[in-house]
Copies of this chain bind each other. A is one copy, B any other.
Amino acid sequence: MSTGNIYESITEVAKRRGFFWPSFEIYGNIAGFTTYGDVGVKLKRNIEALWRENFVRRQGFFEIEDPIVNSGKVFEASGHLANFKEHATTCSQCGRGFRADHLIEEKTQMEHVEAQGGDAIKRLLVENNIKCPVCGGTLKEPTLVLTMFQTQIGATGAEVGYMRPEAAQGMCTNFKRCYQANRERVPFAISQQGKVMRNEVSPRRGMHRLREFTIMELELFFDPQNPACHWLKDVESETVRLITEDMEEKGVKEPVEVTVREAVDKKLILTEWQGYFMGVGKRFMQSLGVPPERQQFRAHLPQERSHYSSQTFDHEVQTRSWGWIEVAGHANRTDYDLNAHQKGSGVDMSVLRKDGTRFIPHVIEPSYGLDRLTFVAMETAWEQRDTGKEKRNILHFPRSLAPYQVSVQPLVTKDGLPEKAMTVYDIVLNGGYRAIFDDGGSIGRRYARQDEVGTPLAVTIDYTTMEKGILTLRDRDSWEQVNVHVDELPEKLHAYFRGDEFRSLGPLLQRSGE
């Protein structure tokens, strides 16, 4: 199947079944905004819960929630007002705006053009004779434009505010309060999940580059004189596929495969904490269904790195729609941000060592983009199965990641079957599962519908249920069916979502005609 096809197929299902679609569509859309429908919200929330389980709950790390609208002072101090900019060009004919580096990349197949700087971008635009991709008009000389959303705080007032483009500043400006709540000890981490906004010049490719998106970010604060990570042993034998700075410089495309321990020992990854989180990140991505061979960590070149970073690895995933895409950044932010806020606010951000000396903690940051992960989870789960009679779309989400876990359906809508099915539905709901009651159309159409939103288990109520209390359970992946008595349903559900084989739940029925 071609790349174009799978992206279009997923997007079509996403709209029709309610995963996601372009926002404000009744008013003609604005690029860079996505609306999640019912199954999309649930999938997204389940991924968020998995992230929290992997990165926060197990370690006992802190969480915070800081506002999206921020005082301008925060971003003045952090350097974002000076640095959070893109090289934009506008068409002198139609007036549309574009990122100059993206236009160059599209025309020349060059990579990471932004890292070459403004002079090179101006030159490359002219040298390659690049015109407006919409109307063919002449493009103006690129200028650096701020890509944060700006607003005024106070309906009568004039305090300039900005929407945060990342969550990290919240962890840094609130560092001291959290440090006190942690009884003044490092290392410790503060995590935050929430909306961020980037006023992109010309966002493209749907979910891949949004102006408003959800970030899951964590700042680990540590003493650079005592950089050991006591959890490293939990992931040290995980292999990670790295494209180091050296390799990137030489244009090497094939990653080297090393264990986290080797990567840290050989100084390919500069700190134990960064190695730890990259190992955790690899496992997290596997739990979404992405196998190790479709993951890699690519180092940023010095000129490509953000203004605050001393080492950054992008966590990349190989997609069928877009090739390798970044789903996370693992950055060594050093003491840049705390220093910046100490200077900006005059508040002392240093902390005390046991020996009486003071230091400003250094920061390791793993930062995952939840919207891209939602798309990646869908694409990874995607199968189009040809039954001979028709093409069926199936989303093979891991069982607990699926938007709905169980569908409950009466075979027909008469003879008391719907009422009986409602009592079964209540049993499922009482177990705490995400469940959907589906009584529309033929049973085959209903199975197809649930396959298309990835519901792993269907429970069907038929005349045997009325007579003997026997239910039919049907598995999304294998399309196999087993019989289970209604009294056993709670324990069977428990076993299935614990990971037991579907066939172990009860006697196998003749395979349905699907």
Contact = CB atoms under 8 A, between A and B. Distances in A.
Contact of A211 (B41, B62, B69): B69
A153 interface: yes
A467 B53 CA distance: 33
A107 interface: no
Contacts of A494: none
A156 B27 contact: no
A35 B200 contact: no
A24 B154 contact: no
Contact of A437 (B60, B63, B66, B74): B60
A88 B154 CA distance: 11
A170 interface: yes
A23 B66 contact: yes
A62 B42 CA distance: 10
A183 B65 CA distance: 37
Interface in A132-158: 145-147, 149-157
Contact of A37 (B23, B34, B147, B181): B181
A57 B430 CA distance: 11
Interface residues of A, number: 85
A233 interface: no
B27 A200 contact: no
B42 A63 contact: yes
Contacts of A64: 35-38, 41
B437 A153 contact: no
A347 interface: yes
A17 B195 CA distance: 25
A126 interface: no
Interface string A26-50: 1100100111111011101000000
Interface string A89-112: 010000001000000000000000
A465 to B, nearest CB: 20
A70 interface: yes
Copies of this chain, complex-wide, total 2
A424 interface: no
A345 B26 contact: yes
Interface stretch (A171-179, A237-245, A297-305): A171-179
Contacts of A88: 155-156
A344 interface: yes
A153 B199 contact: yes
Given A145-B156, A149-B153, A153-B199, 15 more contacts: A24-B74, A24-B173, A35-B174, A37-B62, A58-B429, A67-B212, A68-B212, A69-B197, A86-B155, A149-B152, A150-B151, A151-B151, A154-B200, A155-B200, A195-B195
20 contacts: A23-B67, A24-B173, A26-B173, A26-B345, A30-B71, A30-B153, A33-B69, A35-B65, A35-B174, A36-B64, A37-B178, A38-B64, A68-B197, A146-B155, A149-B153, A150-B152, A151-B151, A154-B199, A154-B200, A154-B201
